[in-house]
Structure 1
Amino acid sequence: MKEILLPKIRKWWKRGTAAFTRREHLFMIVMGGIVGAIGGYGAVGFRKLIAAFAQLGWGSFTRMEGKDLLVMALAAPFWVKVLVPTAGGLIVGIIVYFFAPEAKGHGVPEVMEAVALKDGRMRTRVFLAKAFASAICIGSGGSVGREGPIVQIGSGMGSVIGKALKVSGDRLRTLVACGAAAGIAATFNAPMAGTLFSLEIILSEFAASRFIPIVVSSVIATALSRHYLGNFPAFEVPPYDLLHYSELFLYLILGVLAGGVAYAFIRLLYGMEDFFEGWKLPEFVKPAIGGAIIGCVGFFSPQIFGVGYETITPVLRGEMLGAILIGLLVAKILATSITIGSGGSGGIFAPSLFMGAVLGGAFGQLAHTLFPHATASPGAYALVGMGAVVAGTTRAPITAMLIIFEMTADYRIILPLMFACTIGMVISALLSRESIYTLKLVRRGVNIHGGRELNVLKSLRVSQVMRPEIELVSPSAPLAELVTRMMASSHSHLFVIGEDNRIQGHICLEALRPILKDYETVSNVIIASDLMDKEVTVVRPSESLDMVMQLFGKFNLEEIPVVDKGKLIGTVRRSDVIEAYNREIFRLDMASGLATSFRLQQKMHSERLALVGEFLILEVPAPRSFVGKTLEELRLRERFGATVLTIKKEAKEEGEKEVSYILPTPSTRITEGDILIVFGLQKDLSRFPHS
Structure 2
Amino acid sequence: MIFNKNWWKRTILPGENKGRKLLAGHLFYSTKNFAIVEACVIGLVAAFAAVALKQGIGWLGGLRVYVVHSFTPWLLPVIGFSCGILAGWLVQCNSETSGSGIPYVKAVLAKVPLPLNLRISLVKLVGSILVIGAGLPLGRQGPTVQVGAALAAQISRWFPTSPDYRRQIIAAGAGAGLAAGFNTPIAGVLFVVEALLQDISGFTLGTAILASFIGAVVSRWLGGTGFVFDQITPLQTGFSPQEIPFYLLMGVLAGILGALFNNGIVAALNLNNRLRISLPLRVGLAGLICGVTIALLPDDFLDSAGLREILIGGKADWQLTLLAFTVQFLLTMLAYTTGAPGGLFAPVLIMGASLGLFIGLIQLNLLLTSASAPLTYALAGMGTFFTAVTRVPITGIVIVFEMTTDFNIVLPLMISSAIAYLIAEIVAPNSLYDRLLAGKGINLEESGKEGILTTLTAADVMQRRVETISSQITFVEAVQALSRSRHRNLPVVDRGTLVGIISQKELANYTDNSLVESIPISEIMFPSPMTAIPTATLAHILHLLNRYNLSCLPVTEGKHLVGMITRSDIIRATADHLDGAGIQTAPQPSYIVYQTRDPISGGGRLLILLSNPKTATSLLRIAIAIAQQLGYELECLHIIVVPRTCNPAETPISTVAGLNLLTQAIDFARASRVPIHTQIRVTHDVAEATLETIKERHIDLLFMGWKGTTGTPGKIFSRVADTLIRQAPCEVILAKFGDQTNFNRWLIPVAGGPNVSEAVQLLPAFASLGTIPKIELCTVYAPTETPDTKILEKFVQYLQPKFSRKVKVTTIPAYSVAQTIVSVAEKQKIDAIVMGATRETLLQQVIHGNIPETIARQSNCTVIIVRSA
- Asked whether the equivalents of residues 53 and 125 of structure 2 are also in contact (C-alpha less than 8 Å), the reply is yes
Identify which of 94, 102, 111 aligns with 2:96.
102
- Asked whether the equivalents of residues 289 and 342 of structure 1 are also in contact (C-alpha less than 8 Å), the reply is no
Aligned-partner residue type, residue 29 of structure 2 = T
Alpha-carbon shift at residue 623 of structure 1 (Å): 12
State the partner residue of 1:648: none
Give CA deviations for 1:473-515 in whole Å, capped at 9, x if unaligned: xxxxxxxxxxxxxxxxxxxxxxxxxxxxxxxxxxxxxxxxxxx
Alpha-carbon shift at residue 282 of structure 1 (Å): 2.3
Identify which of 28, 37, 46 aligns with 2:44.
37
Give the unaligned 5+ runs of structure 2.
1-5, 456-532, 585-641, 647-710, 720-726, 729-869
Give the unaligned 5+ runs of structure 1.
63-71, 460-585, 643-667, 677-689
- Asked whether the equivalents of residues 308 and 354 of structure 1 are also in contact (C-alpha less than 8 Å), the reply is no
> Equivalents in 2 of 1:597, 1:428: separation in Å?
46
- Asked whether the equivalents of residues 143 and 304 of structure 1 are also in contact (C-alpha less than 8 Å), the reply is no
Identify which of 71, 77, 81 aligns with 2:76.
81
- Asked whether the equivalents of residues 307 and 350 of structure 1 are also in contact (C-alpha less than 8 Å), the reply is no
Query: What CA RMSD, in Å, does the superposition of the two structures yield over aligned residues?
Result: 3.8
**Alpha-carbon spacing, 1:305–1:671, altered in 2? closer, same or farther (3 Å):** farther
State the partner residue of 2:247: 251
Q: How does 1:623-638 map to 2 (within 5 A)?
A: 631-632=579-580, 634=581
Identify which of 58, 70, 74 aligns with 1:51.
58
Q: How does 1:474-513 map to 2 (within 5 A)?
A: none
Q: Does 1:22 align with 2:30?
A: yes
Q: How does 1:223-262 map to 2 (within 5 A)?
A: 223-230=217-224, 234-235=228-229, 236-239=231-234, 240-262=236-258
> Equivalents in 2 of 1:175, 1:161: separation in Å?
9
> Equivalents in 1 of 2:314, 2:337: separation in Å?
32
> Equivalents in 2 of 1:359, 1:345: separation in Å?
26
Identify which of 526, 550, 559 aligns with 1:604.
550
> Equivalents in 2 of 1:312, 1:273: separation in Å?
27
Q: How does 1:545-556 map to 2 (within 5 A)?
A: none
Give CA deviations for 1:235-278 in whole Å, capped at 9, x if unaligned: 33243555422322221111111111211211222222223223
> Equivalents in 2 of 1:46, 1:455: separation in Å?
36
> Equivalents in 2 of 1:159, 1:388: separation in Å?
32
Alpha-carbon shift at residue 54 of structure 1 (Å): 2.8
Larger Cα Rg: Structure 1 or Structure 2? Answer: 2
Alpha-carbon shift at residue 145 of structure 1 (Å): 0.1
> Equivalents in 1 of 2:299, 2:350: separation in Å?
10
**Alpha-carbon spacing, 1:159–1:187, altered in 2? closer, same or farther (3 Å):** same
Moved more, 380-389 or 175-184: 175-184
- Asked whether the equivalents of residues 239 and 409 of structure 2 are also in contact (C-alpha less than 8 Å), the reply is no
Give CA deviations for 1:60-119 in whole Å, capped at 9, x if unaligned: x34xxxxxxxxx5xx652420110111111001111112x10111111001111111247
> Equivalents in 2 of 1:615, 1:181: separation in Å?
36
Aligned-partner residue type, residue 176 of structure 2 = A
Secondary structure in 1 matching 2:342: coil
> Equivalents in 2 of 1:268, 1:307: separation in Å?
26
Give CA deviations for 1:6-57 in whole Å, capped at 9, x if unaligned: 9998876665444222221x22221110110111111111111212333455
- Asked whether the equivalents of residues 117 and 151 of structure 2 are also in contact (C-alpha less than 8 Å), the reply is no
**Alpha-carbon spacing, 1:21–1:388, altered in 2? closer, same or farther (3 Å):** same
> Equivalents in 2 of 1:120, 1:195: separation in Å?
24
Secondary structure in 1 matching 2:280: coil
Matched pairs, number: 505
> Equivalents in 2 of 1:455, 1:380: separation in Å?
48
Alpha-carbon shift at residue 336 of structure 1 (Å): 0.7
- Asked whether the equivalents of residues 233 and 408 of structure 1 are also in contact (C-alpha less than 8 Å), the reply is no
TM-score (norm 1): 0.66
Identity of aligned residues (%): 25
**Alpha-carbon spacing, 1:201–1:287, altered in 2? closer, same or farther (3 Å):** same
State the partner residue of 1:401: 397
Alpha-carbon shift at residue 153 of structure 1 (Å): 0.6
> Equivalents in 1 of 2:535, 2:330: separation in Å?
46
Aligned-partner residue type, residue 190 of structure 1 = T
Identify which of 111, 116, 134 aligns with 2:110.
116
Secondary structure in 2 matching 1:179: helix
State the partner residue of 2:756: none
Secondary structure in 2 matching 1:112: helix
Secondary structure in 1 matching 2:407: coil
- Asked whether the equivalents of residues 555 and 565 of structure 2 are also in contact (C-alpha less than 8 Å), the reply is no
Alpha-carbon shift at residue 170 of structure 1 (Å): 2.9
Q: Does 1:671 align with 2:714?
A: yes
Alpha-carbon shift at residue 174 of structure 1 (Å): 1.1
> Equivalents in 1 of 2:58, 2:14: separation in Å?
48
Q: Does 1:436 align with 2:432?
A: yes
Q: How does 1:153-164 map to 2 (within 5 A)?
A: 153-164=147-158
**Alpha-carbon spacing, 1:393–1:233, altered in 2? closer, same or farther (3 Å):** closer
Identify which of 162, 170, 176 aligns with 2:164.
170
- Asked whether the equivalents of residues 32 and 213 of structure 1 are also in contact (C-alpha less than 8 Å), the reply is yes
Q: Does 1:195 align with 2:203?
A: no
- Asked whether the equivalents of residues 607 and 619 of structure 1 are also in contact (C-alpha less than 8 Å), the reply is no
State the partner residue of 2:280: 284
> Equivalents in 2 of 1:8, 1:164: separation in Å?
27
Give CA deviations for 1:300-322 in whole Å, capped at 9, x if unaligned: 33689799443232223321111
> Equivalents in 2 of 1:43, 1:390: separation in Å?
21
> Equivalents in 1 of 2:401, 2:162: separation in Å?
36
State the partner residue of 1:367: 363
Secondary structure in 2 matching 1:604: coil
Secondary structure in 2 matching 1:640: coil
State the partner residue of 2:523: none
Q: How does 1:343-422 map to 2 (within 5 A)?
A: 343-373=339-369, 377-422=373-418
Aligned-partner residue type, residue 105 of structure 1 = G
- Asked whether the equivalents of residues 246 and 359 of structure 2 are also in contact (C-alpha less than 8 Å), the reply is no
Q: How does 1:198-347 map to 2 (within 5 A)?
A: 198-230=192-224, 234-235=228-229, 236-239=231-234, 240-301=236-297, 308-347=304-343
> Equivalents in 1 of 2:302, 2:643: separation in Å?
62
Aligned-partner residue type, residue 383 of structure 1 = L
Q: How does 1:498-537 map to 2 (within 5 A)?
A: none
> Equivalents in 2 of 1:398, 1:111: separation in Å?
20
> Equivalents in 1 of 2:103, 2:339: separation in Å?
15
- Asked whether the equivalents of residues 259 and 389 of structure 1 are also in contact (C-alpha less than 8 Å), the reply is yes
> Equivalents in 2 of 1:307, 1:598: separation in Å?
56
Aligned-partner residue type, residue 315 of structure 2 = E
- Asked whether the equivalents of residues 146 and 307 of structure 1 are also in contact (C-alpha less than 8 Å), the reply is no
> Equivalents in 1 of 2:544, 2:254: separation in Å?
51
- Asked whether the equivalents of residues 122 and 156 of structure 1 are also in contact (C-alpha less than 8 Å), the reply is yes
**Alpha-carbon spacing, 1:223–1:390, altered in 2? closer, same or farther (3 Å):** same
**Alpha-carbon spacing, 1:304–1:58, altered in 2? closer, same or farther (3 Å):** closer
> Equivalents in 2 of 1:205, 1:167: separation in Å?
19
> Equivalents in 1 of 2:227, 2:133: separation in Å?
22
Q: How does 1:1-12 map to 2 (within 5 A)?
A: none
Identify which of 177, 183, 189 aligns with 1:183.
177
- Asked whether the equivalents of residues 290 and 339 of structure 1 are also in contact (C-alpha less than 8 Å), the reply is yes
Alpha-carbon shift at residue 334 of structure 1 (Å): 0.7
Give CA deviations for 1:435-464 in whole Å, capped at 9, x if unaligned: 1211110111111122334999xx9xxxxx
TM-score (norm 2): 0.53
**Alpha-carbon spacing, 1:303–1:78, altered in 2? closer, same or farther (3 Å):** closer
- Asked whether the equivalents of residues 154 and 183 of structure 1 are also in contact (C-alpha less than 8 Å), the reply is yes
- Asked whether the equivalents of residues 304 and 328 of structure 1 are also in contact (C-alpha less than 8 Å), the reply is no
> Equivalents in 2 of 1:191, 1:268: separation in Å?
31
State the partner residue of 1:503: none
